[in-house]
Amino acid sequence: MPNYQAPLRDMHFVLHELLNVEHELRSLPAHAEMDADTINQVLEEGGKFASDIVFPLNHSGDREGCHYDAATHSVTAPAGFKQAYQQYVAAGWPALSCDPAYGGQGLPIVLNNGFYEMLNSANQAWTMYPGLSHGAYECLHAHGSEEQKKLYLPKLVAGEWTGTMCLTESHCGTDLGLLKTRAQPQVDGSYQLTGSKIFISAGEHDLSSNIVHLVLARLPDAPPGTKGISLFIVPKFLPDASGNPGERNPIFCGAIEHKMGIHGNATCQINLDNATGWLIGEPNRGLNAMFVMMNAARLGVGMQSLGLTEVAYQNAVSYARDRTQGRSLTGPKAESQAADPIIVHPDVRRMLLTARAYAEGGRAFTSYIALMIDRELNHPDEEVRKLAADEVALLTPVVKAFLTDNAWIATSEAMQVYGGHGYIAEWGMEQYVRDARINMIYEGTNTIQSLDLLGRKVLMDNGEKLRKFGEKIKSFVEENGTDEAMSEFVTPLADIGDKITKLSMEIGMKAFMNRDEVGAAAVPYMRVVGHLVFSWFFARMAKLALEKQNSGDDFYQAKLAVARFYFARLLPETAMLIRQARSGSDNLMALDAGLF
């Protein structure tokens, strides 16, 4: 059976040495009193909760799945899920980074981010229930009326109620401009919503006393396309005069999807039959409001995949140390045994280091993005807030797509380490592969994320956001370019930065003549940008490790080894990707559709 231990040592390194969060948070009035000891204590307790309470339910939850009762339209989560959620609520975890005005603890996003990495390693399916609630909280906090905030936010912050986002319909998928769900105004200011939604994660369950659905729908006079979408609160139970769950609202689960993974989370078909709802924000501006939750979800999916990468790596290492098979090519390493542990074999190490590098790079990247969100939300200087917001916008699709791609690679490699045992369910590894593969699809497929990055975030502003992010990398290169010990890291970092600048300009010029060039280049382009980001962080981590490599702490020697592996074995993928991106659209579009 699998095991999991929170990677606290590496988390401390990223937060305190790489990002220097204590110093950074001092510039944010809301978090100026936050210190390293508090951060470490919260992470330690969060790690215990993840490994002791949530992790033991992962394998059993996957095997059992959710139970749907067609007669009552109700869903029961796997055994133990509800009790674990009650412990989560009792310990105050839902409130960690929420606004104190609504009962939150007001701690920084970067700390909540670390907690969620551990939860996702422990049990992604379970973590999606509170994770979606946090996204609903953020959306209402940003766009809800004062009355809506007063009614719903304290319940969501406390974890008494959970939340969902109801976007997709069977005929439209990501193209939300085609959605058909209708909202009819009522004389009391409410709306009656009718329609059907699919793929609604945590859309029905028994963990909380109420579920707050955020639903996209059209008003009767709405213009076509995405400009005619409004956002509504549609609770499972209508709040009574005291704000408690009252009358059952006709928004029901019609079925749960039978999917390849994440079995412990109910993915629901949701039917609305004149369900009562209330408008959030302005009419026909719902997509703008929902983007708060959608972007939170995209970052969250990246964290899910980081969690899977870490836990798959940990278990593959444990197996490779214990499993004996064959002898080292350079002679026996365990002479007292009939065979050597497979960790002595070069290709086993390649697989393990691939997973480890993607975990460590992903942890640095996502922690940095979370810190930028804290800066965006709390810095007193408007210009600093705007720069942080632009950087988060630029890199959000990279977090989602690059990290989920990498988790698919890492979990597959980790399963391969197990050989035949890897695809046997009792070992747990095949579950991580199944779960990781789903993450590449939902919350906007990785192709959609790649199009968003290249088409909207880079080309639409002529590369301005990318240029500003690149200035940080350029400064690092200039500061360390003359350090001979850093050349093995700085030289490839500078090289990939230059290549992305040229590639972006080349694709932009082609796109003026043919927009298909964007679609043809987007996916390899996204991975190249992902490697640029990882190269920056690995170079920075290597610099810190070089400074402390003789400290007697083996952690820094290991950090250097992983950085060297990344630059030697993973970054070279970009040579192929750049050639793919430059090959153009003709090789994709020349074949007539009827000949496929």
Closest CA to 390 of 315, 463, 331, 325: 463
Question: Which pLDDT value is given to residue 178?
Answer: 86
Q: Check 24, 443, 471, 479 and give the catalytic one.
A: 443
Q: Does a structural domain hold residue 237?
A: yes
How sure is the predictor about 176, in pLDDT bands with cuts at 50, 70 and 90? confident
Structure tokens at 507: 């694709």
497, pLDDT greater than 90: yes
Same domain, 511 and 555: yes
Residue that terminates a domain, selected from 241, 263, 287: 287
Q: Helix-strand-coil percent breakdown of the chain, rounded to 5?
A: 65, 10, 25
| Half-sphere CA count of 570, side-chain side, radius 13 A | 30
Q: Does a structural domain hold residue 321?
A: no
Same domain, 504 and 576: yes
Same domain, 136 and 174: no
24, pLDDT greater than 90: yes
**pLDDT (tens digit per residue) in 226-267:** 899 999 999 999 999 999 999 999 999 999 999 999 999 999
Q: Does a structural domain hold residue 389?
A: no
Q: Does a structural domain hold residue 304?
A: no
| Half-sphere CA count of 539, side-chain side, radius 13 A | 31
Question: Which pLDDT value is given to residue 310?
Answer: 98
Complete DSSP assignment for 110-153 = HHHHHHHHHHHHHHHHHHHHHHHHHHHHHHHHHH--HHHHHHHH
Task: Read off the pLDDT of each residue in 124-146 and give the average, rounded to a whole number.
Answer: 94
CATH of the domain at 36: 1.10.540.10
Please state at what angle helix 487-513 crosses helix 464-480, rounded to 10 degrees.
160
Task: Read off the pLDDT of each residue in 77-102 and give the average, rounded to a whole number.
Answer: 97
Same domain, 102 and 197: no
142, pLDDT greater than 80: yes
Q: Does a structural domain hold residue 153?
A: no
Closest CA to 287 of 218, 372, 374: 218
Question: Which pLDDT value is given to residue 164?
Answer: 96
Question: Which pLDDT value is given to residue 394?
Answer: 96
**Rounded Cα–Cα distance for residues 529 and 332 (Å):** 42
pTM of the predicted model as reported, rounded to 2 decimal places: 0.96
Same domain, 134 and 196: no
Q: Phi and psi of 216, rounded to 5°?
A: -90, 135
Question: Which pLDDT value is given to residue 359?
Answer: 98
Task: Read off the pLDDT of each residue in 126-144 and give the average, rounded to a whole number.
Answer: 94
Is 253:73 a contact under the CB 8 Å cutoff?
Answer: yes
Roughly how many angstroms between the first and final C-alpha of the chain, as a whole number?
A: 44
Q: Does a structural domain hold residue 441?
A: no
Same domain, 507 and 575: yes
CATH of the domain at 239: 2.40.110.20
Closest CA to 95 of 85, 104, 87, 86: 104
Three-state SS at 165: strand
How sure is the predictor about 413, in pLDDT bands with cuts at 50, 70 and 90? very high
Question: Which pLDDT value is given to residue 295?
Answer: 78
Question: Which pLDDT value is given to residue 547?
Answer: 96
**Rounded Cα–Cα distance for residues 306 and 118 (Å):** 9
Please state at what angle helix 36-49 crosses helix 109-143, rounded to 10 degrees.
80
**pLDDT (tens digit per residue) in 26-56:** 999 999 999 999 999 999 999 999 999 999 9
Task: Read off the pLDDT of each residue in 179-199 and give the average, rounded to a whole number.
Answer: 96
292, pLDDT greater than 90: no
User: Between residues 175 and 596, which one has the greater pLDDT?
Assistant: 596
Same domain, 95 and 207: no
Structure tokens at 30: 């809301």
Residue that terminates a domain, selected from 268, 287, 306: 287
Task: Read off the pLDDT of each residue in 464-481 and give the average, rounded to a whole number.
Answer: 97
| Half-sphere CA count of 28, side-chain side, radius 13 A | 26
294, pLDDT greater than 80: no
Residue that terminates a domain, selected from 270, 287, 304: 287
In the chain, the number of structural domains is 3
SS (H, E, C) 483-542: CHHHHHHHHHHHHHHHHHHHHHHHHHHHHHHCCHHHHHHHHHHHHHHHHHHHHHHHHHHH
Please state at what angle helix 554-565 crosses helix 516-547, rounded to 10 degrees.
150
Same domain, 120 and 229: no
Same domain, 234 and 135: no
Q: Does a structural domain hold residue 239?
A: yes
Active site residue 443: yes
Residues found in the chain: 596
438, pLDDT greater than 90: yes
Same domain, 126 and 168: no
Question: Which pLDDT value is given to residue 166?
Answer: 93
**pLDDT (tens digit per residue) in 303-314:** 999 999 999 999
Q: Does a structural domain hold residue 364?
A: no
**pLDDT (tens digit per residue) in 49-71:** 999 999 999 999 999 999 999 99
Q: State the DSSP code for 216.
A: E
Is 57:80 a contact under the CB 8 Å cutoff?
Answer: yes
289, pLDDT greater than 90: no
Question: Which pLDDT value is given to residue 40?
Answer: 98
Same domain, 200 and 99: no
The mean pLDDT of the chain is: 96
**Rounded Cα–Cα distance for residues 485 and 473 (Å):** 18
**The domain containing residue 234 runs over which residues?**
162-287
Same domain, 137 and 184: no
Three-state SS at 276: strand
The helix (H) or strand (E) run that includes residue 367 is helix 346-378
